Structure 1
Amino acid sequence: MIFRPRPPSPLANLAAAGSVMLAVLVWLAPLWSGFDLFRQVWALIAIAALGLLALTLILRRWRPALICLAALVAISGPVAPEVARSITDNGRTPYPDAITTLTIATHNLWGRNEAANRAAAVLIEMDADVVALQEAFGESGDVTDRLRAVYPFEAECTRHSSRILSRLEIVESGCMQDLLIASRPAEYEWWRHQFPPSTWARIRLEDGTTAVVVSVHMTWPDPLSVQNEQRQNLAEQLRQFERNTMIVAGDFNAAAPSLALARMDRDFGLERRTRLLATWPSQGIGQRFGLGGFRLPTMFTGIDHVFAGEAWTTLSVERGPNTGSDHRPVMVRLWKVS
């Protein structure tokens, strides 16, 4: 038998080149913030690379297949630390006694949500002690009214749509922006004027101590310079409080393994408890545009997070069902030694 090598395949070679290009785009993130946007949608990049690898295998072109495989490994590199942390941070068992538990839910209601009844029902069924809301305005404004029957305490910032509802007593509350401006000297940098909509509340826990909870809605990462400025201001705002028992929850518009989210992990001084939990876009965005009967591929990125101080240990992290919003709600159960 005479061995005849398979002729080159332009399609397979093109697939290999495409895989390499995707890997390069992912790894260029440290050089320019625009490339970091590719890490924000890392799951889509990985799926595309996997599809290109499958194409070369179907065509039985082994050299392009090896190139695609190497590119896929390179694309997976930035998310490896997140995977490792998600395994080690999986729910822990609390001490047998003398503990305080707290369940917090966060949800971007979406101002164009037309299913206020469903959203309110889902949040009530989640049975959290504290609920952090974002975009609690427009067509989703009725959700807050329905939740007040279950959550008698409320904190809001009149200029923003971020709110906090609680079963536990709210001792004091206010706008994060006001808190920071009041503490700044007159000669402070005038250009740092971008503040994320955020509300804070000091909540009395069951053991008699208090913890500060913050509801935040960061802007989109494009233009990233605005989000960077919001992150810097929010980090400065958080330093106004004791962060050991602090909890910060909301829509941060940043997903792993982006450098934007890594900088939040670094600057907030808190531990992020939500890892590899896709929350956007939910089916609600399809329903809003008359696509309710068509199941769009959804939730390919996780931009809704809960950060907590070192006094808290994670018991569980859950993603809620579709509420008619373009986000899914997130619920985190925490405990601390009293």
Structure 2
Amino acid sequence: RKGCNVMATVDVFILWGLALVTLVVVLATLLPMLRLSHWVIRGFDFPRLQLAAVALVVLILQLALLDLGRPLSWFLVTATALSLGCQLWWILPYTVLWPREVKAARHGDPERTITILTSNVLTPNRNVGALISLVEKHQPDVLVTLESDQWWEDQLAVLKSRMPYTIQCPLDNLYGMHVFSRLPLIEAECRFLIEDDVPSMHALVELRSGEKVRIHFLHPAPPSPTENPESAERDAELVIVGRSVADTDEPVIVTGDLNDVAWSPTTRLFRKVSGLLDPRVGRGLHSTFHADYPLLRWPLDHLFHSEHFTLVSIQRLPSIGSDHFPLLTRLRYAPVRGQDQEPLQGDRDDDQWAKELAREQGASKHDVPEPGQGPEEINRK
């Protein structure tokens, strides 16, 4: 009898232990569905892959250890399975199991190819030689650095002999930004769209073939207890840029550290209102953060583009000592081949949500520079 009591106690312990873990998994799955911008809620947007792995392990333990003759056991199994399915719904598009959103480029004119290296360097990091070596090895047409202060500007000055076109905004608040380009930058401008100490950069880049591409470099602040307690500022910057580029038929690229994961509701909203494509879809996560913790990684550094481009390659480069890996993307300007590529489709609710996010911050798509748009077209809008 004593042995039976011990076994019953163990069974109860396992049941309620798994019930507690299931409750945590369910809450972590449901909370991000709320349109609340507090960092505690938005923080659950990030570790969906990790939460899916936890849900899978919990589901296996439930099936192995619980008495499936009890209704409570099946309730727990069902709740965990639904949570796992929900997490997979968000992340599966960023695996090779999903159809590719962007076509692979065919062999073509290299003069219509643009290579962009995006690198959050981490301000206190001093391994500038690693970044310069990557530039020398991969020969990007455009290099954008995030978190680069005056020290980084001074060290990267050696690149100017090969990349003479620059936009520079050294800051020591983790939001400095620099652009170095082999290709001409036209109407280049640094603008503080939402916050007075968080810059963005905007320009036309002229390809070797002569075509001009509108390009925006972004690094909005994340929702966190040490920075912005809410995601409102980040979300507003994304949607006003998205709504701005939606107004043009010209080729567009948006890149940078967006401090948001590829699958979050706000990044998806940005893709819907902008009409831009994500070359990661169907190709893999290419997670760029955190470089030091393999089990806690997600894609924070992004490149989105209009249907005018197809993809030559996208790859995460080796660490340069930052908490972010650099991201290297090669695109080919191929408007005919790319014209039937399908972006995420938005609806009236998405448009209304985007307008509300911008309105809450007193921001507008008209705050975003539109390089290449003459006064007549700007006034017409």
Q: TM class, shorter-chain normalised?
A: 0.7 to 0.9
Give the Cα–Cα distance (whole angstroms) in 1 for the partners of residues 146 and 98 of structure 2.
25
TM-score (norm 2): 0.70
Farther-moved stretch of structure 1 (54-63 vs 271-280): 54-63
Alignment partner of 1:37 out of 33, 39, 43: 43
Q: Show CA shifts across 1:113-139 (max 9, x none).
A: 121111221233222111122111155
SS in structure 1 opposite 2:112?
strand
TM-score (norm 1): 0.78
SS in structure 2 opposite 1:136?
coil
Give the Cα–Cα distance (whole angstroms) in 2 for the partners of residues 76 and 42 of structure 1.
8
The amino acid that maps onto 1:217 is H
Partner of 1:10: 13
Distance 1:61 1:30, change over 3 A: same
Distance 1:142 1:25, change over 3 A: same
Alignment partner of 1:324 out of 311, 321, 325: 321
2:167 aligned with 1:165: no
Alignment partner of 2:59 out of 53, 61, 66: 53
Distance 1:146 1:86, change over 3 A: farther
Give the Cα–Cα distance (whole angstroms) in 2 for the partners of residues 52 and 143 of structure 1.
49
| 8 A contact 2:252–2:306 mirrored in 1 | yes
Q: Show CA shifts across 1:222-280 (max 9, x none).
A: 4112222322443455468x463111110000003221211222233422223422110
Distance 1:98 1:301, change over 3 A: closer
Partner of 1:334: 331
Aligned residue pairs: how many?
A: 308
Give the Cα–Cα distance (whole angstroms) in 2 for the partners of residues 61 and 196 of structure 1.
55
Identical positions, percent? 22
Q: Show CA shifts across 1:18-54 (max 9, x none).
A: 2343234323323233433212221222232233334
Q: Show CA shifts across 1:192-248 (max 9, x none).
A: 6668521122221111121122221111034112222322443455468x4631111
Unaligned segments of structure 1, at least 5 residues? 181-191, 284-295
| 8 A contact 1:156–1:174 mirrored in 2 | no
Give the Cα–Cα distance (whole angstroms) in 1 for the partners of residues 53 and 141 of structure 2.
37
SS in structure 2 opposite 1:23?
helix
Partner of 1:66: 77
SS in structure 1 opposite 2:318?
coil
Alignment partner of 1:220 out of 214, 219, 222: 222
| 8 A contact 2:310–2:334 mirrored in 1 | no
Partner of 1:130: 142
| 8 A contact 1:195–1:233 mirrored in 2 | no
Partner of 2:126: 114
Give the Cα–Cα distance (whole angstroms) in 2 for the partners of residues 139 and 18 of structure 1.
47
| Superposition RMSD in Å | 3.2
The amino acid that maps onto 1:163 is H
Distance 1:170 1:77, change over 3 A: closer
SS in structure 2 opposite 1:168?
coil
Distance 1:73 1:229, change over 3 A: closer
Alignment partner of 2:166 out of 127, 137, 154: 154
Tell me how far 1:298 sits from its aligned partner.
5.0
Distance 1:145 1:259, change over 3 A: same
Partner of 1:187: none
After TM superposition, what 4+ stretches of structure 1 lie above 6 angstroms from structure 2? Answer: none
Tell me how far 1:282 sits from its aligned partner.
0.8
Alignment partner of 1:78 out of 90, 102, 110: 90
Alignment partner of 1:250 out of 253, 256, 281: 256
SS in structure 1 opposite 2:33?
coil
Partner of 2:278: 272
Distance 1:90 1:13, change over 3 A: farther
Paired residues for 1:154-193 under 5 Å: 154-157=166-169, 161-177=176-192
| 8 A contact 1:152–1:167 mirrored in 2 | yes
SS in structure 2 opposite 1:14?
helix
| 8 A contact 1:103–1:333 mirrored in 2 | yes
| 8 A contact 1:175–1:200 mirrored in 2 | yes
Give the Cα–Cα distance (whole angstroms) in 1 for the partners of residues 256 and 168 of structure 2.
14
Distance 1:85 1:208, change over 3 A: farther
